[in-house]
């Protein structure tokens, strides 16, 4: 089998109007390079399955199509695609045309020139919605603290990885994957270059508030115990402040304001506050325990319904 220099993984979700144009752009950009495209349909509700299947049939030598049994989320779909790649370098890009294939050589050249494992595309001017932009900013800010991400590194879905990182990331079998968290656990040889970000060709982003919250949860609880440490620190701080206030109240009652009655509303507010803190910490610990239970119970990361390989035969 001839060596593949570049693999492109494209997770597809309701991208029936755009994914064919993305594939054609890739073919035009890399006509002289040995490459492959892996399309992963993540439970789309439109005609994406038919479009992707048709692309795999039209280009059996270069296009592999993977149909998941339902929607598992972008990161699970990307992992399913990474495991089916053969290239020395692997690029992940969106199905909506916002990541121009002609920008990929910039990522590849930077990775080769500086001997990097991963190179992210940093958008010169983002064309996402305000909610998506705010969500990206929040995710990157928290990742800097929780995952020890370099502060100036922008985590985008448009990136190139070498074979070493792809193989290492592909070994993760947990039910709540977060690709960038896995990358940061594998290597520190990471760079970024500025790339173009185009307007979405059709449709709207699949990331709503619920999906963004799920992504944040995977990052917070799946790849760090920092929230538990924060809860411990918060509990110790509140306990210390409570002790100081208790001493202050006793001293005030004995020496300064003996006639003042300690207010019942104040006591009720304090009880309510501490009860809320306890419930928050218990809920967070319960989330950790629940995730461990689901992983031990065998919750699937993703299930492949069928696959059309790049040889044009059903797998």
Assess whether pLDDT exceeds 60 at residue 127: no
Q: Check whether residue 185 and residue 247 sit in a common domain.
A: no
- Neighbouring CB atoms inside 10 A of 311's CB total 11
Confidence of residue 38 (pLDDT cuts 50, 70, 90): very high
DSSP structural state of residue 63 = E
The string of pLDDT tens digits covering residues 220-263 is 666 666 666 676 777 777 767 777 776 776 777 677 767 666 66
pTM of the model: 0.76
pLDDT of 99 above 70? yes
Residues 144 and 219 placed together within one structural domain of the fold: yes
Per the prediction, the chain carries an average pLDDT of 82
Retrieve residue 113's tokens: 């020139």
Residue 290 clears pLDDT 70, i.e. is over it: no
Q: How far apart are CA 219 and CA 178, in angstroms?
A: 6
At residue 294, the pLDDT reads: 60
Domain count, the chain: 2
Residue 12 lies in a domain: yes
Residues 145 and 285 in one domain: no
Structural domain including 21 reads: 6-223+300-308
Hunting for tokens 């993984």 — which residue is that?
9
Whether 1 is covered by a domain: the verdict is no
Q: 3-state DSSP call for residue 114?
A: helix
Whether residue 313 is predicted with pLDDT greater than 50 in this model: the reply is no
294 token code pair: 């689901």
**pLDDT computed for residue 1 by the predictor:** 44
Partners of residue 91 on adjacent β-strands: 8, 160
Residues 130 and 235 placed together within one structural domain of the fold: no
Helix (H) or strand (E) holding 279: helix 264-297
pLDDT tens across 178-223, in order? 899 899 989 999 999 999 988 766 656 555 566 666 666 666 666 6
pLDDT at 139 over 90: no
User: Do 193 and 105 share a structural domain?
Assistant: yes
Residues 194 and 244 in one domain: no
Residue 23: per-residue pLDDT: 96
Q: Does one domain contain both 51 and 139?
A: yes
Structure tokens at 175: 């039910």
Q: Is residue 313 part of a domain?
A: no
Distance CA 56, CA 64 (A): 6
């Amino acid at each position: 089998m001839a060596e593949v220099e570049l693999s492109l993984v494209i997770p597809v979700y309701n991208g029936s109007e755009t994914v064919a144009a993305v594939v054609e752009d890739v073919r035009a950009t890399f006509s002289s390079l040995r490459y492959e495209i892996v399309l992963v349909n993540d439970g789309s509700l439109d005609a994406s399955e038919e479009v992707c299947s048709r692309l795999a049939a039209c280009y059996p030598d270069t296009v592999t199509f993977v149909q998941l049994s339902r929607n598992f989320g972008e990161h699970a779909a990307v992992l399913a695609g990474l495991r089916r790649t053969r290239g020395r370098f692997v690029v992940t890009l969106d199905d909506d045309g916002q990541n121009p294939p002609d920008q990929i050589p910039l990522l590849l050249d930077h990775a080769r020139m500086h001997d990097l494992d991963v190179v992210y595309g940093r958008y010169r001017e983002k064309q996402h919605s305000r909610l998506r932009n705010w969500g990206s900013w929040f995710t990157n800010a928290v990742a800097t603290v929780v995952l020890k991400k370099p502060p100036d590194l922008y985590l985008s879905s448009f990136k190139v990885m070498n074979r070493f990182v792809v193989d290492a990331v592909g070994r993760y079998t947990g039910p709540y994957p977060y690709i960038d968290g896995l990358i940061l656990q594998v290597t520190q040889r990471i760079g970024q270059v500025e790339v173009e970000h185009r307007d979405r060709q059709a449709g709207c982003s699949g990331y709503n508030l619920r999906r963004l919250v799920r992504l944040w949860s995977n990052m917070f609880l799946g790849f760090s115990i920092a929230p538990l440490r924060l809860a411990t620190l918060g509990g110790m701080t509140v306990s210390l402040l409570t002790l100081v206030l208790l001493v202050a109240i006793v001293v005030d009652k004995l020496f300064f304001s003996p006639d003042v009655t300690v207010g019942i509303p104040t006591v009720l507010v304090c009880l309510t506050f501490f009860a809320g803190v306890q419930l928050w910490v218990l809920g967070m610990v319960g989330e950790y325990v629940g995730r461990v239970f689901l992983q031990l119970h065998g919750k699937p990361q993703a299930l492949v319904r069928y696959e059309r390989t790049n040889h044009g035969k059903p797998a």
